[in-house]
Amino acid sequence: MNEFKRVVIKLSGEALAGDKGYGIDPVVVENIAKEIKKISELGLEIAIVNGGGNIWRGLSGSAKGMDRATADYMGMLATVINSLALQDALENQGVNTRVQTAIEMRQVAEPYIRRKAIRHMEKGRVVIFASGTGNPYFSTDTTAALRAAEIEADAILMGKQNVDGVYDSDPKINAAAIKFDCLQYIEVIQRGLGIMDSTAISLCMDNNIPIIVFNIDDPENIYRVAKGEKIGTIVGGK
């Protein structure tokens, strides 16, 4: 029996960029696609939300001096580019996929329709949610939380780079930092642990969606987490 029936995998944009830290590294994307194929073959229903930070980030990065909403729309378009790269890599592995976008662009992808997304997953297709929530002032972490609630996912599998879970302080700065095996949402908020932005974590808390934070530097961890291996940190849940 699988640990999960339906999951949302959250990949940051940088996870697709590899060592360069920007753009898309096809080898990295291929390796991620191979792992997603493996979990798809376990019979798990899979939705993916990917970020856009490897191409454009609205608030903190690329957009200094720009109108915030415009910069955010550019960030959402960046997630579409990543979604198509991921779709291409998955289809090359023989995985059936659909990209659904929160901002309509019919020539490129389906519009986001919740019931259709669920139907795709039931048929074994991997659904990739592009364009974030479709709204500026939000993040793709919030998108993952929102979509997970909507499609009634059992968990969000949250791949992080350069870290293998949630620590009480930054392990890159503090060698004595302690890793949590599990923790409650409220602790994440109170301690200001930067797993997700506060909107996203609140949404997970309100809807009781477990978040499993793991290291994506080794893409095989996607498979390990999906199979229920206890690696990384579990936020919320039982």
Cβ closest to ligand UDP, residue 74 vs residue 226 = 74
Within 10 angstroms of residue 119's Cβ, the number of other Cβ atoms is: 13
The one among 53, 159, 165, 236 contacting ligand UDP by CB under 6 A: 53
C-alpha span between 81 and 52 (Å, rounded): 8
**Three-point CA angle 83, 195, 202, nearest 5°:** 95
Please enumerate in sequence order all residues whose Cβ is within 8 A of that of 63, keeping only pairs 6 or more positions apart, or say none: 56, 57, 71, 74
Q: Which of residues 117-136 bind ligand UDP (CB under 6 A)?
A: 132-133, 135-136
Kindly state the number of chain residues that form the binding site for ligand UDP, as judged by CB under 6 A: 24
| Residues 6 or more apart whose Cβ sits within 8 Å of residue 48 | 8, 9, 10, 11, 36, 83, 86, 126, 127, 128, 129
Q: How far apart are CA 20 and CA 72, in angstroms?
A: 23
Only one of the segments 18-26, 45-53, 103-111, 215-223 lies at the binding site for ligand UDP (rule: CB under 6 A); that segment is 45-53
Give whichever of 14 and 164 is closer to ligand UDP, judged by the CB atom.
14
Query: Cα-Cα-Cα-Cα dihedral of 215, 218, 223, 227, to 10°?
Result: -50
Which of 53, 219 has the CB closer to ligand UDP?
Answer: 53
Segment interacting with ligand UDP (CB under 6 A) among 28-36, 71-79, 89-97, 186-194 = 71-79
Query: Contact region for ligand UDP (CB under 6 A) — 48-56, 107-115, 167-175, 198-206?
Result: 48-56
**Residue placing its CB nearer to ligand UDP in the complex, 51 or 219:** 51
Strands (E) located in the chain = 6-11, 45-50, 97-101, 110-111, 126-130, 155-160, 166-167, 179-180, 182-183, 211-215, 233-235
Among positions 97, 101, 139, 233, the unique one binding ligand UDP when judged by CB under 6 A:
139
List 34, 37, 38, 57, residue binding ligand UDP (CB under 6 A): 57
The nearest distance, CB 82 to ligand UDP, in angstroms, is 8
Taking only Cα atoms into account, the Rg of the chain, rounded to an integer number of angstroms, comes to 17
Query: Does 140 help bind ligand UDP (rule: CB under 6 A)?
Result: yes
Q: Least distance in Å: CB of 81 to ligand UDP? A: 11
Q: Residues in the site for ligand UDP, rule: CB under 6 A?
A: 12-14, 51-53, 57-59, 71-72, 75-76, 78-79, 132-133, 135-136, 138-141, 143
